[in-house]
Structures are given as C-alpha cells and as structure tokens.
Amino acid sequence: AQTVTQSQPEMSVQEAETVTLSCTYDTSESNYYLFWYKQPPSRQMILVIRQEAYKQQNATENRFSVNFQKAAKSFSLKISDSQLGDTAMYFCAFKGGSEKLVFGKGTKLTVNP
Amino acid sequence: DADVTQTPRNRITKTGKRIMLECSQTKGHDRMYWYRQDPGLGLRLIYYSFDVKDINKGEISDGYSVSRQAQAKFSLSLESAIPNQTALYFCATSDGQGAGNQPQHFGDGTRLSIL
C-alpha cells in the first residue's frame, strides 16, 4: 500500500519570505499523480498544485511550485512571497492506479506578519 | 451555489443514535468519496463509489455504511454512533472520464460530535 509522509507537523514563516514543505511517498508504481491541498481555518479543502509522475518538469502555479524528485520519491511544496492568507494546513496526496487518494497527515503553516 | 454540498454543516448527537450525512453535487462527476479527518491523522477514506452501482470500502469502513441514491447523491450513515466517530467528515467528487491528474473536489465538511 502507498504511504505519504509529511515530516513537519508545524512550520512558521515571516510574511514575504519563502518556505518549503516536505513530502515523501512510498510506491512501487511508475505512473501516478501527486497533489498538494490547502485547508485554511474555514476548513475547505482547496487544490494548490498537481504533478504527473511522467512529467520531469516541476509544476508551478503563481507563487506555488514543487520540487519533484521521482527517484527519491519526494514532492516538496515551495511557497514564495508568503502571505497571511497562506496560513493553513497543507496536505500532500498520492494517487496511483487504484484511483484513490492517499493523504499525508498534514503540515500546519503559520505566516507571521 | 457550491458544487459539492454537504448537510448538515455541524451536528451534535448522542451515543447510539443513527446519523446520516448527505452529499450532493452539481459537477456531473461519476465518482464520489467519503473521508474522515482527525487531528494529526490527515484524511482517511471511508467509502467510495465510481458509479451508482459501484460501492467500495475504504481504509476505515467499520461502523459506517453508504448509499448512492443517484449519480449526484452519496450519503454516509452511522448506524449506532460512538464517541470515537467524532470527527470532521468530507465528501468529494472526481471526474472518472478525465485524465488521471483530475483532482478531487471537496465539500465544506460536516463536523460531527458524538457525546
């Protein structure tokens, strides 16, 4: 079974700075998809960014980018120019051939003014 | 209006009661999911359905049942609620006809407290 590990339960960053959230996963599959979801205090689950394993190019969405290292099974999220509205729980998720999402336990990010 | 609607938003009930959480969607997706979120544990899959006639157990299905009444509706039942089922419950949908990178779309969650 696939597992997703987020090794940082909590992180903090100053407004306007850059922060990187870590995610590693374990799978024997070669074709899969990876996602980062954001859960602000409003408790909604919001898709931040996604990556296909067969693509070598790292995905980017505005201030959010990933560092995808397939051999190392690592999928970190970088947030540039952090904003107060980025304060949230961030979940890394894996989807393989079973079509089910497997989530990590989350990282609580606080952006300080 | 929200694309994925969960009712109720919050619910407090007593041990032993039967509870139904409802989910409806206007996205036209064929796939629907129920998750449970507990602090420090992330989201765990309870049940999922890839179409109206297809229901599958997830990681933590014991104590729960589901019904897919229509493509747009997927309800979760707790037959006899117990306190350790206190959690935040999410419904999600996805498009099975799309590419594999199609994300799941989540409702706003139901916070359930069992006393």
Quick one: pLDDT at residue B1? 54
Question: If you average pLDDT over residues A74-101, what whole number do you get?
Answer: 95
Test the A interface: residue of B33, B37, B89 with most A CBs within 10 Å: B37
Helix (H, G, I), strand (E, B) or coil at A6: coil
- Compute the average pLDDT of residues B94-101: 77
From A34, A79, A36, A71, select the one nearest A53 (Cα to Cα).
A34
Q: Helix, strand, coil: what percent of chain B each, to 5?
A: 5, 55, 40
Q: Is 70 exceeded by the pLDDT of residue B99?
A: no
Write the residue in A9, A44, A105 that is nearest to B106 by C-beta: A44
Of A44, A95, A105, Cβ closest to residue B40: A105
Q: How many CA atoms lie within 13 A of A65 on its CB side?
A: 9
Taking CA–CA distances from B91, the nearest residue in chain A reads: A45
> Could you check whether the bond before residue A41 is cis, i.e. omega within 30 degrees of 0?
no
Residues B39-60 pLDDT 10s: 888 999 999 999 999 999 999 9
